[in-house]
Structure 1
Amino acid sequence: MNSAEQQKMASLDRGLFFINYKSAEDSLSPPHVTVAPAEGHERRMEIILHPDATEATLREPNSGLVVRVNTPGTLQVRVQPRSFGGSQAAVVRIEPINAGRLSTNPSNGIGLHTLVATEGLKLLGHVAGRGDVIVGPNAWIAGPTAPSRVEGVALEWPDKPPGVDIRYAVQFANGQAGSGRMMPLGTYAGTRGQALPLTGVVLEMSGTDDLEFVADAGFLNAPTLHAVGKRVVLSGPTSREPLVGLRIGIERIATAEQIAPPAGSRKPAGPARVRVFRSRLRQANAI
């Protein structure tokens, strides 16, 4: 393995799987994701590409390919920075494509319900010049393609699991009344029609060990911020930059599994994280 890349090995049962390059920490220069059978497992599986693709490399988020596994084998997922010293942080999902009914056997069944933790979640954002905008999970309010000041937010989740408690707060650069005050689910936090952009958002979750926030935020003249966890703090480099894009999702926590680099390879400079989620009943892998 090249010292400037990260890799993950995923054991797959017989079946059909969608390799979904879901997101990258650096949205402007995302790393490349390449998949291949592990050495010695080439005859156990085949990679099905888009008709216009020539190699099993996904070059940006929201792209994917299909792997057909004839007999249980191991798939290698490699993440390479787009340029020297670039980001190696990416989220890749391995999602089973079910041909029939879902199995309920935890030893070998596939449970697609593990991917829909955010079903019914809605994010409301009050956007300057547009008014209230409502989107579903993992969708942008304003954002990279249409940045605009976000002046207030609210989260709604009618199908929230019992016992899960979610609170959130917004922050203003000028210490406006209400800045930093934690609000319960369904409550609007912010202003309307006062030209007061948010400069930060705090999300907190309790009452569950299985779920976490996955959030992205854009601040004026700053790189897109990506954060994951039960408590997420989103703000710009100086905590005064206006919020110009926000998206929020809630996903199941994958079991961490650290893969040791091959002997003799250098540890890559700077932080790097590759999260590979394998959607199985009671089982998921990540680095």
Structure 2
Amino acid sequence: MDAVEQQKVVSLDRGLFFVSYARADDLAFPPRVMVVPTQGHEGRMEIIMHPDASEPYLWAPNCGLMVRVNTPGTLQIQVQPMRTGGSRAAMVRIEPIPSGRAPLVAQSERAVLHANVAMGDLKVLGHVAGRGDVVVAPNAWIAGPTAPSRIEGIALDWPEKPVGLDIRYAVQFANGHAGSGKMVSLGTYAGTRGRALPITAVVLEISGVDGFEFVAEATFLNAATLRAVGKRVVLSGPASREPLVGIRIGVNRAVDNVVPAKPARQPVGSGRVRVFRSRAPKGVPSANEIGPPHGS
């Protein structure tokens, strides 16, 4: 195997699975992902690709393929950089597709499955100077690196939020204006409108149900784009006074187990392969993630 290649072997029970390329750190040169049965397990499963595809490769985020498993076996996920020294950081999701019969699922697992399908219901509002209120889906930019503009307030709305999940957030102003730093609940607007008061920091918190985390990026005037992941996220410029001119916010399912990869040789470049398996009825494994520590 190439020294810069990352791989993970995943055990799958009998069933039908959707394998999707969820995310890459380097969008300009995303690593390619190859999905194949492990050696000796080729007869246990079949890879179902797009009619125009000739090889089981996922070339960029939002690509996917199906895996039909007739007899329990193992699937190999390989991530390869697109150029020498390129990124190997990729997130791959493996989701079981239920059969025609409704499985018996415990109530606690029903809540998790519901969370997986309802994530797109999250909406992010930002009040942009000169444009007014802008509402976007998760992980979409409001203003941002390509169209920076002063943001004066934000609000999050999630009608189908999982029961027991608590989300709060706050914005801060450079001049200590009333309301600066005050945490508000989901659905509440934080900030001002039409008062030319730029936001200098954003705080996001998520608690309650385990397994959820914020993934957020922000651009502050004359500063590099910031990215933060966690249950509590704080975004601000280098001097904590720069105006916010772009933001995007998403919520991810955090993983249950973390298994560090152990490549045979020191890889070139930086990155990791992350494989997520959605929770499913009994007999289908739970979510997991692999990858070397950051900076490896």
* TM-score, normalised with respect to structure 1: 0.81
Q: CA deviation at 1:130?
A: 2.5
2:94 corresponding residue in structure 1: 94
1:286 to 283, 289, 292: 289
Moved more, 86-95 or 114-123: 114-123
Are residues 61 and 129 of structure 1, via their aligned partners in 2, closer, same or farther at CA, if it must alter by over 3 Å?
A: farther
Q: 1:189 to 1:46 in 2, by over 3 A?
A: same
Alpha-carbon distance, 1:242 to partner = 5.1
Task: Tell which deviates more after alignment, 240-249 or 251-260.
Answer: 240-249
In structure 2, the residue matched to 1:65 is 65
C-alpha change, 1:126 and 1:95, in structure 2 (3 Å) is same
CA contact (8 A) 1:222 1:237 kept: yes
Task: Say whether residues 1:205 and 2:211 are aligned partners.
Answer: no
| 1:46 CA displacement | 1.8
Equivalent residue number for residue 168 of structure 2: 167
Structure 2 CA distance for aligned equivalents of residues 275 and 79 of structure 1 = 10
The DSSP-based 3-state class of the residue aligned with 2:92 is strand
Q: How does 1:248-287 map to 2 (within 5 A)?
A: 248-262=249-263, 264-268=264-268, 270=270, 272-281=271-280, 283-287=286-290
Aligned partners of 2:276 and 2:80: how far apart in 1?
18
CA contact (8 A) 2:211 2:256 kept: no
Question: 1:222 and 1:82 mapped to 2: Cα distance?
Answer: 29
- Counterparts in 2 of 1:244 and 1:51: CA distance versus 1, 3 Å: farther
- Answer yes or no: is the 8 Å Cα contact 1:114–1:280 preserved in 2: no
Distance 2:245 2:105 in 1: 45
In the alignment, is the contact (CA less than 8 A) between 2:167 and 2:186 conserved in 1?
Answer: yes
Paired residue secondary structure (1:255): coil
Q: Which runs of 5+ in 2 are unaligned?
A: 291-296
2: CA distance between counterparts of 1:114 and 1:166?
Answer: 14
How far 1:94 sits from its partner (Å)?
0.9
Greater Cα offset, 45-54 or 96-105 = 96-105
What RMSD in Å do the two structures reach over aligned CA positions?
Answer: 3.2
Matched, 1:113 2:129: no
Distance in 2 (alpha carbons) for counterparts of 1:12 and 1:155 = 37
Q: Which runs of 5+ in 1 are unaligned?
A: none
Q: Is the 8 A contact 2:96 2:280 kept in 1?
A: no
Aligned to 2:55: 55
